[in-house]
């Protein structure tokens, strides 16, 4: 904690008022420091406010201590759900320190956690502007920028063909007499500007996202069209005439453990007719970039036609009964998904197709067929589906297969279930198609909805086998004879048990179990795997009640006593205390950390967690000091023990076009790039290198080593020499990880079985290289943030 004990000095000739003020400042400063040492952060914060309001000349001296007090007080207010007080404290702090990037960044973090992404982005952006080298703020801004300005905006604006066809169709409509235009979901405003350039008298652009609305305002002004385009920050359904627009418009653009059969896992991408909650029933993917490709089991078929100029038809879409469609099967295979795209007829001569066979900025919609695991279809069968537009989402329900031999009795159906509600629908196809084929068909008693990345994790066999071997080695080294004996007894009990109470074993009577803590995020069966070793008490950090119920059912199916598995968040006051001893007199044998996000980035604050795990910390209030206290027993391990970050140099125009708008040619002369490129992020995530269009220009090299067992040995800056093996232009540096559970057991996040995706640093400017040359990379690691630059 910084020392702020510097007393204000009185000026020459100061009177009684000055002396009184100095005395008050001095006493308030003493009180602030005393309260801080006693961890009374609220009172300390109030005293610091008084000090700074009376003696602003002390700002530089107490700045760091004031920040620390603010952040700790804000944590308490957040835990108490005193949101208005929390925001009020930050507003007061920013009045005193308006140009403090650390306070701006912290304010943004709180707002983002509350769900105010637009507002959070503003504070992150300001923090980066104040200090371009502030890595925490840059990382936060990059993450929130991916939420606010989705990457498809860049791809779409770089799609010259799409922009030319839209421009031609808009010109034709305006020339034909359509002089008023409403652009719904305006984005950057490019279509509105096409309309204005074509000669439309009145152009109204409606955009719900605050970030995109403000971006569109800047873009329209930069192209000198603000006088001719009225921008509306609102939902299109809330537009009223003449309150918001004075007239109706002519053109409308609509933009290793037994998993029991009584537990069924499903993706959150599904169709739910009986629910009041609207959940997108599909995911999206570029089908021509699916790893391993795909097999079309039918010819393409038309699902429906929508006439956007027929108001009555549009109104009836939501209430119309589902249409039944039968599709003949042309190839033999397993029915995993139905892929949907559209052909957009702008007029009778201009059209756009988003088919997988087209080179387009659009992805395709993917409707996973859940419930058909391992069901083979063949030529002669017919797939029967029902199609509707409830809530104006295209929904595909009641999927069934009509066999060739029998007319009705071979039918299997997938129908929506009202109990499957789950928010979150951003899924990758290869994960969504997995559909957890680890569970066998059977009676469904418990349905557990998982994110697609969680389903893919469950299907990652090397991941679970690797952890099982690594845990066995550690636990065996701690109590070798007892552990092996208990494991043998446990295995015998599973084989002999008929499920009628025959699963009593020595775990229940073991006086000193080994403690395993799994703090990896999301749904994880690693604690269950740890429980297979007998003399173990495993702790899971899952948060959702449904996930806890499911893990309990899996434990029961594997004949574990109830005491084997505990849910750790029930035992700690708040999530920030998740890394602490299992008991006052006990230590962890294994701590499992979630090091790599499914997106391909290093988990935030992971090195801080590793430091706490390997050397725990507690506050000695009477001394005002932090003291270390190890959380691991002697011989205990953190998993993974260390991580290697690998990368290579590539030439990839795809990554360039997905990361930033390339000049004005693709946007037909309109000046959009400088504005939307403010939300350009240097790192692209959720990549699949096996299908990414790119040319490797080097072999893989080690970029970084993260040691979680001894985190103090990690270096924050290193140079890496990369040998060029092929001439070309370096546009990006994809990277992935080798996670070492120990020296022998390694998990590769780029493997075919991996549930992880990869990421890539995209260079601002391509670098021309020749075979035989060397390129030097500067790799910086700060906290969990990694930056890679080319040394010139």
DSSP string, 437-452: TTSPS---SEEEEE-H
Structure-token pair, residue 303: 């699902």
Q: Omega before 63 cis (within 30°)? A: no
Q: Residue 209: which pLDDT band, with cuts at 50, 70 and 90?
A: confident
How many Å apart are CA 700 and CA 631, to the nearest integer? 36
Distances (CA, A) of 579 to 76, 104, 569, 573, 596: 18, 28, 10, 12, 18
Q: Average pLDDT for residues 546-559, to the nearest whole number?
A: 84
Least confident of 64-73, 470-479, 706-715: 706-715
pLDDT at residue 704, as a whole number: 93
Structure-token pair, residue 460: 């990652």
| Better-scored residue on pLDDT, 244 or 554 | 554
The full DSSP string for 134-152 is: -HHHHHHHHHHHHHHS-TH
Mean pLDDT score of the chain: 79
DSSP three-state, residue 524:
coil
| Better-scored residue on pLDDT, 149 or 449 | 449
Q: Residue 442: which pLDDT band, with cuts at 50, 70 and 90?
A: very low
Structure-token pair, residue 274: 């009986």
Q: Residue 247: which pLDDT band, with cuts at 50, 70 and 90?
A: low
583 neighbors 590 (Cβ within 8 angstroms): no
For the packed helices 160-175 and 190-198, what is the interaxial angle rounded to 10 degrees? 40
Q: Average pLDDT for residues 203-222, to the nearest whole number?
A: 85
DSSP three-state, residue 270:
coil
DSSP three-state, residue 308:
coil
Share of the chain above pLDDT 90, in %: 21
Sequence-distant contacts of 78-84: CB under 8 A, at least 24 apart: 78/110, 78/113, 79/574, 83/114
pLDDT at residue 344, as a whole number: 87
pLDDT at residue 676, as a whole number: 85
For the packed helices 210-222 and 190-198, what is the interaxial angle rounded to 10 degrees? 40
Least confident of 22-31, 146-155, 395-404, 741-750: 146-155
pTM of the model: 0.70
Q: Residue 120: which pLDDT band, with cuts at 50, 70 and 90?
A: confident
Four-residue CA torsion sign, 598, 601, 606, 607? positive
Question: What is the total residue count of the chain?
Answer: 792
* pLDDT tens-digit readout, 557-593: 777 777 788 887 776 665 556 677 788 778 899 999 9
Q: Residue 467: which pLDDT band, with cuts at 50, 70 and 90?
A: very high
Q: Is 615 exposed, middle or buried (0-12, 13-18, 19+ CB in 10 A)?
A: middle
How many Å apart are CA 241 and CA 206, to the nearest integer? 14
* Other CB atoms within 10 A of residue 105 CB: 24
Helix residue ranges, H only, 176-229: 190-198, 210-222
How many Å apart are CA 462 and CA 459, to the nearest integer? 9
Is residue 432 scored above 50 in pLDDT?
A: no
Of 450, 453, 426, 786, the C-alpha closest to 594 is: 453
Q: Average pLDDT for residues 1-11, to the nearest whole number?
A: 47
Is residue 621 scored above 50 in pLDDT?
A: no
104 neighbors 137 (Cβ within 8 angstroms): yes
pLDDT at residue 638, as a whole number: 92
pLDDT at residue 416, as a whole number: 41
Distances (CA, A) of 349 to 341, 353, 474, 752: 20, 13, 69, 44
DSSP three-state, residue 188:
coil
Of 25, 109, 34, 99, the C-alpha closest to 71 is: 109
* pLDDT tens-digit readout, 34-54: 998 988 999 999 999 888 888
Q: Is 2 exposed, middle or buried (0-12, 13-18, 19+ CB in 10 A)?
A: exposed
Structure-token pair, residue 291: 């790893």
How many Å apart are CA 398 and CA 447, to the nearest integer? 18
pLDDT at residue 480, as a whole number: 59
Q: Can you say how many angstroms the Cα of residue 152 is from the centroid of all Cα atoms in its chain?
A: 16
pLDDT at residue 276, as a whole number: 45
* Other CB atoms within 10 A of residue 625 CB: 10
* pLDDT tens-digit readout, 739-773: 999 999 999 999 988 999 999 999 989 999 999 99
* pLDDT tens-digit readout, 628-683: 457 888 889 999 999 999 999 999 998 998 888 888 888 888 888 888 888 888 88
Of 767, 770, 757, the C-alpha closest to 789 is: 767
Q: How far apart are the first and last CA of the chain?
A: 39
pLDDT at residue 591, as a whole number: 92
Structure-token pair, residue 499: 């499920």
Structure-token pair, residue 612: 């706490």
Q: How many CA atoms lie within 13 A of 395 on its CB side?
A: 26
Is residue 510 scored above 50 in pLDDT?
A: no
Give the CA angle between residues 516, 520, 521 to the nearest 5°: 140
Is residue 150 scored above 80 in pLDDT?
A: no
Give the CA angle between residues 449, 451, 457 to the nearest 5°: 110
């Amino acid at each position: 904690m910084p020392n702020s004990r510097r007393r204000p000095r009185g000026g020459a000739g100061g009177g009684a008022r000055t002396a009184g003020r100095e005395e008050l400042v001095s006493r308030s400063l003493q009180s602030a420091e005393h309260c801080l040492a006693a961890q009374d952060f609220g009172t300390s914060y109030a005293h610091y406010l008084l000090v700074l309001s009376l003696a602003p000349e002390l700002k530089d001296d107490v700045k760091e201590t004031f920040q620390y007090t603010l952040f700790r007080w804000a944590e308490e207010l957040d835990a108490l759900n005193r949101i208005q007080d929390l925001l009020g404290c930050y507003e007061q702090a920013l009045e005193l320190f308006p140009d403090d990037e650390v306070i701006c960044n912290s304010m943004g973090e709180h707002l983002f956690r509350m769900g105010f992404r637009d507002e959070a982005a503003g504070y992150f952006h300001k923090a980066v502007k104040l200090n371009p080298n502030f890595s925490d703020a840059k990382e936060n801004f990059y993450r929130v920028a991916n939420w606010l300005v989705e990457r498809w905006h860049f791809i779409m604006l770089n799609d010259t063909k799409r922009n030319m066809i839209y421009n031609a169709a808009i010109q034709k409509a305006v020339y034909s007499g359509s002089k008023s235009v409403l652009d719904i979901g305006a984005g950057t405003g490019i279509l509105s500007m096409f309309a204005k350039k074509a000669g439309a008298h009145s152009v109204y652009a409606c955009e719900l996202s605050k970030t995109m609305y403000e971006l569109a305002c800047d873009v329209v002004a930069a192209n000198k069209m603000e006088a001719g385009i009225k921008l509306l920050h609102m939902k299109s359904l809330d537009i009223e005439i003449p309150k918001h627009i004075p007239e109706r418009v002519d053109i409308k653009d609509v933009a290793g453990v037994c998993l029991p059969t009584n537990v069924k896992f499903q993706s959150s991408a599904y169709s739910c007719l009986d629910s009041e909650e609207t959940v997108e029933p599909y995911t999206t993917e570029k089908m021509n970039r699916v790893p391993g490709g795909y097999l079309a089991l039918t010819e393409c078929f038309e699902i429906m036609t929508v006439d956007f100029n027929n108001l009555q038809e549009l109104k009836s879409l939501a209430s119309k009964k589902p249409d039944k469609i039968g599709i003949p099967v042309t190839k033999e295979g397993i029915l995993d998904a139905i892929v949907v795209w559209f052909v957009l007829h702008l007029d009778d001569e201009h059209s756009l197709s988003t088919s997988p066979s087209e080179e387009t900025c659009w992805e395709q919609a993917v409707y996973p067929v859940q419930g058909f695991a391992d069901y083979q279809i063949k030529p002669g069968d017919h797939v029967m589906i029902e199609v509707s537009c409830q809530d104006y989402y295209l929904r595909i329900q009641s999927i069934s297969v009509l066999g060739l031999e029998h007319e009705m009795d071979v039918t299997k159906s997938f129908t929506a279930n009202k109990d499957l509600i789950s928010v979150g629908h951003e899924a990758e196809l290869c994960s969504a198609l997995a559909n957890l084929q680890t569970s066998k068909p059977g009676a469904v008693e418990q349905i557990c909805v998982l994110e697609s990345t969680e389903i893919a994790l469950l299907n990652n066999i090397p991941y679970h086998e690797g952890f099982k071997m690594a845990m066995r080695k550690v636990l065996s080294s701690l109590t070798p004879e007892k552990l092996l004996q208990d494991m043998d007894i446990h295995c015998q009990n599973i084989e002999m048990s008929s499920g009628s109470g025959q699963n009593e074993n020595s775990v229940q009577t073991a006086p000193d179990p080994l403690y395993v803590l799994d703090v990896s995020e999301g749904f994880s069966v690693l604690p269950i795997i740890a429980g297979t070793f007998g003399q173990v008490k495993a702790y899971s950090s899952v948060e959702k009640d449904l996930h806890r119920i499911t893990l309990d059912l899996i434990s029961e199916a594997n004949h574990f006593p109830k005491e084997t598995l505990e849910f750790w968040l029930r035992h700690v006051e708040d999530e920030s205390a998740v890394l602490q001893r299992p008991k006052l007199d006990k230590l962890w044998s294994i701590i499992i950390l979630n090091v790599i996000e499914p997106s391909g980035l290093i988990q935030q604050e992971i090195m801080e967690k590793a430091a706490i795990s390997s050397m725990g910390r507690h506050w000695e209030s009477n001394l005002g000091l932090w003291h270390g206290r190890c959380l691991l027993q002697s011989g205990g391990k953190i998993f993974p023990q260390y991580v290697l970050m690998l990368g290579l140099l590539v030439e990839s125009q795809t990554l360039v076009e997905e990361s930033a708008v390339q000049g004005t040619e693709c946007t037909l002369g309109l000046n959009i790039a400088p504005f939307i490129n403010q939300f350009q992020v240097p790192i692209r995530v959720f990549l699949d290198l096996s299908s990414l269009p790119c040319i490797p220009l080097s072999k893989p090299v080690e970029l970084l080593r993260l040691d979680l067992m001894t985190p103090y040995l990690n270096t924050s800056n290193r140079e890496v020499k990369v040998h060029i093996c092929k001439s070309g232009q370096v546009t990006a540096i994809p990277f992935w990880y080798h996670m070492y559970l120990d020296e022998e057991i390694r998990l590769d996040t780029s493997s075919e079985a991996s549930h992880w995706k990869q990421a890539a640093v995209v260079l601002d400017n391509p670098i021309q290289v020749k075979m035989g040359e060397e390129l030097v990379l500067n790799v910086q690691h700060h906290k969990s943030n990694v930056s890679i630059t080319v040394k010139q």
